[in-house]
Amino acid sequence: MELTPIITVNDLHFSYPTRPVLEGVDFTLRRGEVVSLLGPNGCGKSTLIRLILKLIRAKRGEIWLHEKSLHRYSHREIASHIAYIPQYHNVPFNYSVLEMVIMGRVSKLGFFAAPSAGDHTIARESLERVGISDLANRPFGQLSGGQKQMVLLARALTQGVDTFIMDEPVSGLDYGNQIRLLELIVRLSEQGYTFLKTTHYPDHALLVSTRVAVMNGGKIIADGSPDDVITPSMIRDVYGIEADLITHDTHTRCLPIFNKGIS
């Protein structure tokens, strides 16, 4: 059965004043997928995310959200369909974790409406689903990077949508928090949530993805199942290093070939 498209990108072009970034990108995110967007620094991954969120406008091409042109959506309407979980998040006030999570209800309430008892219940349920109920009264600014990412994911759940976009979600997290966050993504995907996430880690893409798209030179050069896309030749072409793929138990790992000696 063919999965329903959520986001469709057709022939997308974008340039900054000094350089082109995207040159004819075609991409589709379908319901129920976990898609990892791989590629080197500067290849256009974050720019593509910003275009999908209508934070910037494309030079040429079209983006469709649920088969309706993105230009016809307000930012609040986009937030009623997609939750964005940024790489970094600093807030000017020392909100509690619960207050941060309740902010996910803004797209449902409006900016000046007070959250109801029901909104508080939804927020607490989201904290429980993510496994951080014990942090509810902690100041958000005092949390570790891993805890902040969990709070932002709980806020996205509170937003009441089933499509999440994450920009390098494990950046800055220690190894344990990286794995815990990836495990949470898998659990939520099994409950019907859809994910598009950028990453620098082929191993993470292999662990959690149903599909992998690789960007390089402003284009998507590969798009398919993780085992088909993440190969030694792709690693060589995109990152300029040699690597082997090994399988342990049911998981495939990318093992870079590290040259210690200097010739």
The answer on 54 and 171 residing in a single domain is: yes
The answer on 169 and 56 residing in a single domain is: yes
Predicted pLDDT at 108: 73
The answer on 170 and 153 residing in a single domain is: no
How many structural domains does the chain have?
A: 2
Give the chain's count of helices (H) and strands (E): 10, 12
- pTM here is 0.90
Domain of 195, CATH number, reads 3.40.50.300
Question: Is 86 domain-assigned?
Answer: no
The answer on 135 and 6 residing in a single domain is: no
The answer on 108 and 6 residing in a single domain is: no
Task: Retrieve residue 91's tokens.
Answer: 């807030």
The answer on 67 and 174 residing in a single domain is: yes
The answer on 187 and 67 residing in a single domain is: yes
Predicted pLDDT at 90: 67
Four-CA torsion 6, 12, 17, 20, nearest 10 degrees: 120
Beta pairing class for 194-199 and 34-38: parallel
The answer on 183 and 240 residing in a single domain is: yes
The answer on 76 and 99 residing in a single domain is: no
Domain range holding 207?
1-81+162-263
Predicted pLDDT at 244: 94
The answer on 189 and 71 residing in a single domain is: yes
Question: Is 100 domain-assigned?
Answer: yes
Beta pairing class for 82-85 and 163-167: parallel
Predicted pLDDT at 145: 83
The answer on 64 and 97 residing in a single domain is: no
Ranges of residues in the chain whose predicted pLDDT is under 70: 1-2, 88-92, 110-113, 261-263
